[in-house]
Chain A
Amino acid sequence: PPSRRSPPRRPRGASGAMDYTGQWLSELIYYVLCILAGLIGWIWGYIVEDFFVTVAVWAAGAALALVVCVPEWPFFNRNPVKWLDSIPDYGDEPPPAATTAAAAATPAAAEAPKGSSHGGKSGKKSKRRS
């Protein structure tokens, strides 16, 4: 079977240049930036008795958070997802039931009837093909 070198196509709207760790990091950065800008702005505004100074400092912090966290910078892509080269093809053999968590929880006695039912289904499939 032909194996693909490139990762499978992503669903529409999904960004390919920011991995999951990068997303978590981006979220952490904008939480910290926005809250810090708010705190500094509030204290500054309280001292000078002007709420619009608070709004100005908050706006500067929010704009910085937008610039740092929204675009796909390279440092957000340092832990890319490791894709498999190709989806394994099992053919007529039953898939290994021992690797699934459900199968691992069930006692070994239940695996025998499960294996036979899987075998029966795949057997039906091969019959249809011919």
Chain B
Amino acid sequence: RGRTRAVAVPPLSPPRAVLEEVRSADTSLARRGRDAARTMHSLWTRANAVVFFALSVLLGLAIACSLSTVGFQGEAVISKLELNSLRSLRHTGSGKAGVDRAVLSFDLEADFAPVWHWNLWQLFVMVVAEYDTPTNVLSQVVIWDRIIAIPDSKQLSLKNMLVKYPLQDQGAGLRGRDVRLRLLYDHMPITGRLYMGVSDLGVQSNFTMPESYDF
């Protein structure tokens, strides 16, 4: 008595007359709009929808750009890559644990314009010294590198360039060794896979290390 209890009330529906009045005022355009997605009620949901749809479109553009360069083959034109002067060849470290280290300078003339396409972000160019020793079948040592980005000049012209990193062996095997200089360039795309380009075997230059330290 005097206390309220929850009563299950059946859901009310408008009388038929009201429903028909509403339906008659309903144009086909309004009905189509109502039947379509009803999810963009607020400013923030609309802004979210527009921004992330636009970003999805950008993703599609990036993938299409990557696919459009799948079959592209361009090779750098390397006119010259050779030793300029060997500055030093020393044995550093103590006794048997020591390593051979050489410092040298080189000349390089290369043109990377044929390599470039619109999906390329940068090229990582490396000068690599290759040789083999009795202990190591093949040694490849990066002695100089540079990044060529989109605004940079695509031509490299280096004269008497000192190496960035010394040519260092894992042991004492540099004396009297035949060393080959090669140019490698890594393609770093805007979208897609990375791949390496290698200089032609005919262009690489060879030189021989002296037979003794402090020549």
Which residues of A are interface residues toward B (Cβ below 8 A)?
13-15, 18-27, 30-31, 34-35, 37-38, 41-42, 45-46, 49-51, 54-55, 58, 61-62, 65-66, 69-72, 79, 82, 84, 87-88, 90, 95-96, 98-100, 118, 121, 124-125, 128
Contact = CB atoms under 8 A, between A and B. Distances in A.
B37 A51 contact: no
Interface residues of B, number: 49
B58 A58 contact: yes
12 contacts: A13-B44, A19-B30, A20-B34, A20-B36, A42-B61, A70-B43, A72-B43, A84-B22, A88-B12, A95-B10, A96-B15, A125-B9
Contacts of B26: 82
A27 B34 CA distance: 13
B7 A88 contact: no
Interface string B136-180: 000000000000000000000000000000000000000000000
B118 A50 contact: yes
Given A70-B43, A70-B50, A99-B16, A128 B58 contact: no
B15 A88 contact: yes
Nearest to A55: B58
A45 B118 contact: yes
A36 B36 CA distance: 22
Contact of A79 (B18, B29, B53): B29
Contacts of A55: 58
Contact of A27 (B40, B68, B119): B40
Contacts of B25: 82
B117 interface: yes
A58 to B, nearest CB: 6
Contacts of B22: 82, 84
A58 B57 contact: yes
